Amino acid sequence: MTAIVLGAKVITFFLTFGSLLGHVQPATLFNVAESNASYAPYLLMTLPFCLASFGYHGNVPSLMKYYGKDPKTIVKCLVYGTLMALALYTIWLLATMGNIPRPEFIGIAEKGGNIDVLVQALSGVLNSRSLDLLLVVFSNFAVASSFLGVTLGLFDYLADLFGFDDSAMGRLKTALLTFAPPVVGGLLFPNGFLYAIGYAGLAATIWAAIVPALLARASRKRFGSPKFRVWGGKPMIALILVFGVGNALVHILSSFNLLPVYQ
């Protein structure tokens, strides 16, 4: 199922954004109308979202299931997957920022900032029925693949945690435990995606930055040189901890409206 949805997402992505890139206006992309505008103050706000979007640590249990305890293969998967996601995200930014004038993003944010609002804004700018349809199809596949991709590692983790076997009944139990809570949450709070991903960034700070760094430090003290060891030594561990704490502070400050917001 994940492979089918992801494949459909990739196809619709290139069909949609191949067309959008052809409509990119340099004046819109570089915001020539506001040449003195500075966006640096808003960069801190993006940290929790970036960590949630590019933190694939949760998929490691599934990668170990597929490839065994082969660190080199798993590292390659994570590195290549991250670079691929970064490339696609860059295309996404070019296509959206190059077609939608910067002031219109204020209205998008005021309406909740969800993907349906962004699709409506792009539709209003381009005025193309076929492209409108592609945008809607892509946005639905994007949400579905994100849902399945994020829960991939959680599925295998919960199966291992609760001892569910790989039979049809065992996988059904795991699927219910994995997918039922977010489905209920999505139905009850359809506009809660941006709030959820912000808190996901805070949670990711703990389990994808702070905890792994502390575990690596404790493991090296207790067991010495393991079979697999990330380069960088103690300075790298310290850097990750600083990033994690900084990311958590950004989210807390943002929650209390203490950071600048583009408006």
Task: Mark which of 190, 210, 231 sits at the end of a domain.
Answer: 190
Q: How many whole angstroms separate alpha carbon 6 and alpha carbon 12?
A: 10
Cα-based angle 162, 164, 167 (whole degrees, multiple of 5):
170
Exposed, middle or buried: residue 71 (CB in 10 Å: 0-12, 13-18, 19+)?
middle
CA–CA gap between residue 260 and residue 39 (Å, rounded):
10
CA angle 96, 125, 137 (to 5 degrees): 65
**DSSP 8-state symbol, 31:** T
In a domain, residue 170? The reply is yes
CA distance 66 to 172: 20
What's the total number of domains in the chain? 2
Same structural domain for residues 144 and 77?
A: yes
Mean pLDDT, each 10-residue run in order, the chain (263 residues): 72 79 86 78 80 74 79 86 87 88 83 75 75 78 73 77 86 87 78 66 77 85 74 86 88 82 73
76 and 141, same domain (yes or no): yes
Of 151, 168, 190, the residue at which a domain comes to its end is 190
Q: For residue 46, is it within any domain?
A: no
Is residue 142 domain-shared with residue 261, that is, in the same domain? no
Give yes or no: residues 4 and 30 share one domain: yes
3: in domain: yes
| 112/129 same-domain check | yes
Contact 170, 159 (CB under 8 A): yes
Stated pTM of the model: 0.73
Domain that holds residue 124: 1-34+57-190
